Amino acid sequence: MSSSQITFFHDIRNLGINHNHWYAVARSVEVKCQPFSITLWHQSIVLYRDSEGKVHALEDLCPHRFVKLSSGRAIADELECAYHGWRFKSSGKCSYVPYLASNQKLPSCQIRTFPVQELNGFIWLFPGDKSKINLVSPLEIPEWEHLNYIATISVIKCRAHYSYLVENLMDMYHGHLHQNWQAWAAAKLIDLSENDDRVDAYYQAQSYYKIDKIWSISQLLFPSLRQLHPEPLNVSYIYPNWVSNLGKDFKIYCLLLPINEKQTQAYLIHFTSLHAFWRLHKLPEWFRRFVKNSLFGSAQKLLDGLVQQDVEMIEEEQQAYLKNPQQRSYELNKALVSTQRLIKKQALQ
């Protein structure tokens, strides 16, 4: 087959995930003292904070009558089931049954627990073999705390297999879809590299944004201020997450939370750099942090608009697959072939 016509086969749309990685399952601000429920690849998990603010993660299932623990509440560092009031320690052991008779012992049931870390504004969870936990680390997001970067977060919720979302993120030729949002244009794949853990695609593109003056950030709000100019556009699938750089001004992360074969959630984090404003760097730290916090979400309209358009296309792809799983598609972007190869390799480990 010609390299200009690459055929896709859709068995990838049923693949699971490699559990031996850290997954961003919630934002730190979402998890408070009361139970917070998430699902990571068919596994229901409940998160909560104890009295010292430490986050714990347990299987979201009471071993008594198999109802969700997230429907209950946290009391004195323990989770209380809403149904009968059984309580469980963060270790997963039962600590209290309100109607336990004097001649009865506490049930010896043990709820599964999951290692968690709180890092860079997110709760990271390791769902795999605990003996392999030190072989990998959560994705680093140094811009989260850096005072020279302004963050915006959009939550992606799509009714589709996670592979469709990853392919969408690695395919910079789909800038055509976002013409009205003026995100980027005229992308061209220049180079491509891959190994067992990542795929890096290097594009050259036209960017509408250049953050080189103090008022430049207003380009995110006013299209009339934008002007096309060439910029490198690099995207990386660092399993199981995605990272992108558009020139020196923008850094974007996508932290994927695959739910099942037909549902995916993700956190898309957009950073706008303030490095060009050298005078700002000389100001007191408290003022720079005030600027960073005040401008949080400044790209919200743009980011949400891009997400909405992408989700519509991704869900259409999923529906087309469900109607005819054997139908072949044809692809010209070699980066997506490498992306599929990595998804398969990781899922089958």
Q: Are residues 115 and 156 in the same domain?
A: no
Q: Are residues 35 and 157 in the same domain?
A: no
- The pLDDT tens digits of the residues spanning 295-313 come to 899 889 989 999 999 999 9
Q: Are residues 310 and 261 in the same domain?
A: yes
- Which pLDDT band holds residue 210 (cuts at 50, 70, 90)? low
pLDDT attached to residue 237: 98
Domain-embedded: residue 125: yes
Predicted TM-score of the model (pTM): 0.91
Q: Are residues 32 and 160 in the same domain?
A: no
Residue 277 sits in a domain whose CATH number is 3.90.380.10
Q: Are residues 124 and 207 in the same domain?
A: no
Mean pLDDT of 137-149: 94
- Residue 324 per-residue DSSP state: -
Q: Tell me which of 98, 132, 166 is where a domain ends.
A: 132
Cis peptide before 240 (omega within 30 of 0): yes
- The pLDDT tens digits of the residues spanning 236-281 come to 999 999 999 888 888 999 999 999 999 999 999 999 888 767 677 7
SS3 at position 313 = helix
Q: Are residues 246 and 195 in the same domain?
A: yes
- The pLDDT tens digits of the residues spanning 63-117 come to 999 999 999 999 989 999 999 999 999 999 999 999 999 999 999 999 999 999 9
Domain-embedded: residue 208: yes
- Which pLDDT band holds residue 169 (cuts at 50, 70, 90)? very high
Q: Are residues 209 and 79 in the same domain?
A: no
Mean pLDDT of 8-14: 76
Domain-embedded: residue 78: yes
Q: Residues of the chain with pLDDT > 70: what percent?
A: 90
Q: Does residue 2 register a pLDDT over 50?
A: no
Q: Are residues 102 and 192 in the same domain?
A: no
Q: Does residue 212 register a pLDDT over 70?
A: no
Domain-embedded: residue 246: yes
Domain-embedded: residue 14: no
Q: Are residues 163 and 118 in the same domain?
A: no
Q: Angle at Cα 180 formed by Cα 178 and Cα 185, nearest 5°?
A: 50
Domain-embedded: residue 5: no
Higher pLDDT, 214 or 29: 29
- Residue 107 per-residue DSSP state: P
Domain-embedded: residue 324: yes
Q: Are residues 161 and 266 in the same domain?
A: yes
- The pLDDT tens digits of the residues spanning 12-32 come to 999 999 999 999 999 999 999
**Spatial contact of 206 and 186, defined as CB atoms under 8 Å apart:** yes
- Which pLDDT band holds residue 1 (cuts at 50, 70, 90)? very low
Mean pLDDT of 227-243: 91
Mean pLDDT of 211-227: 59
pLDDT attached to residue 222: 62
Kindly provide the b/e burial profile for residues 271-284, where b requires at least 16 CB atoms within 10 angstroms of the residue's own CB.
bbbbeebeeeeeee
181-178-246-293 Cα dihedral, nearest 10 degrees: 40
Domain that holds residue 341: 149-348
If one counts every other C-beta atom within 10 angstroms of the C-beta of residue 171, the result is 20
Q: Does residue 150 register a pLDDT over 70?
A: yes
Domain-embedded: residue 1: no
Segment among 68-82, 133-147, 284-298 with least mean pLDDT: 284-298
pLDDT attached to residue 225: 63
Counting the structural domains of the chain, the total is 2
